[in-house]
Structure 1
Amino acid sequence: MTRPISPEDAAFARSLVIDEDATLIAFNKPSGLAVQGGSGVTRSLEDLLGAFAKSNGKQPRLVHRLDRDTSGIIIAARTKPAAAFFSGAFAGRDVKKTYLAIVCGGAPSPETGDVALALKKSSRRGLDIMEVAGDGQTALTRYRTLAATPEAALVELQPETGRMHQLRAHMAALGHPIAGDGKYGGLYRIGGADIPRLMLHAAKLGVPHPDGARRTFVAPPPPEFSDLARSLGLEAPTS
């Protein structure tokens, strides 16, 4: 059922919408906004879905997740059948996710490739992390370097599996952690530029649709992402 939502929060929620139809809403989530409530969370995207509630009080349901500090595309289903359809598509890996990341240490070698390293949940300094482990869950990430300097690189990442922190752990394993990702060794300052947040953005999402077609949603990177790319001498992403 719908939780009370202020006019300000409702307006904010609507400002995040990049596309919608009778079955779904696609949002461009900002970094720092949690997807779900929890300890220390005062406002989440799930709470904001009340802005789209029907007259009977039922509201859209999120069908996948993004880390709190990751920005970009996330979709919610407007109806129960649509939620089941999209949840099945994600579970069956019938979706195509494309991320942009600014990573530390220049371009990975080779500049384009696959990371097929199994991951296992662990703990470091009281924090839950994913570590490379032979007995972990299979994980595959495809990557492509778009621009690079000796200090940083702009890379495109496509996860073929959906493990927790997969992209962050895989880039760290390559020796090129994502900028601003202290949990996995990322720097907070590169080339004299401060890193304001985790530099990971869900830029594109391709999904099957209940009408039988496929839809692709594109979320432009936020200003702090594009501005940092420019300041580091990397080609600013446009999609």
Structure 2
Amino acid sequence: MDSKSAIVTGASSGIGRATARRFAEEGASVVVADLVEEGGNDTVDIIEDEGGEAMFVQTDVTNDDDVSKMVDAAVENYGSLDVVHNNAGILTGFDPLTDLDESDWDALLNVNLKGVWLGLKHEIPAMLEDGGGAIVNTASEAGLVGFPGIANYVASKHGVIGLTRAAGLEYAEDGIRVNAVCPGPIETPMTDDPSVDSKEVVEYTPMRRMGQPEEVANAVVWLCSDEASYVTAHPLSVDGGRVAQ
């Protein structure tokens, strides 16, 4: 990743922070994008303390102008846009689909699916100007199989995989690869919920443990690297074997 520039959304914590750090470790200059200013600046501080280069851009991924400015910041400060991890996402709770509030449905789909689409909308033209690039979107094991109680989340992540496949096919000839990672249960602030029985989750995971953010970050960085040069439009499971059961 030497002399390349990267964007990571949802980079104030969890998988996004881990990916931003890994990009920087590999030599990329990183735009840390998030709505949470304190956490985003903390990620920048961590990267700089580790000898990397990064800047924070406060970004609402559901806002077209914000996403456009995020991409402009990468190009203006680092000269190009080479790799991206569209990672920002939320989980609004656990309810039967008939009990979901319309506001919860809209809020989750806006961040998890519209946010990825807006990212692609602005990132791809910037990459086309520089001859190509690589993008990874965060989907989920819930984008590959169904789960009760989180219908809006499942729908959003299935949508991310569909969007990933469509974008990967549309721009394959242009030197832009678009893939997705599909994490299983990962130890992040999002999964630190009292309603989640971690022992039960581990019991139904073939590897018998929760994953770490760094394990997803490693997959993202590989998909963005030249080592994955013939991989596009692919959802890669990082789930300890769960969806293979």
What is the TM-score when the length of structure 2 is the normalising length? 0.29
Q: Which has the greater radius of gyration?
A: 1
Q: Please report the TM-score for the alignment, with normalisation by the length of structure 1.
A: 0.30
- Whose helix fraction is larger, Structure 1's or Structure 2's? 2
Higher strand share: 1
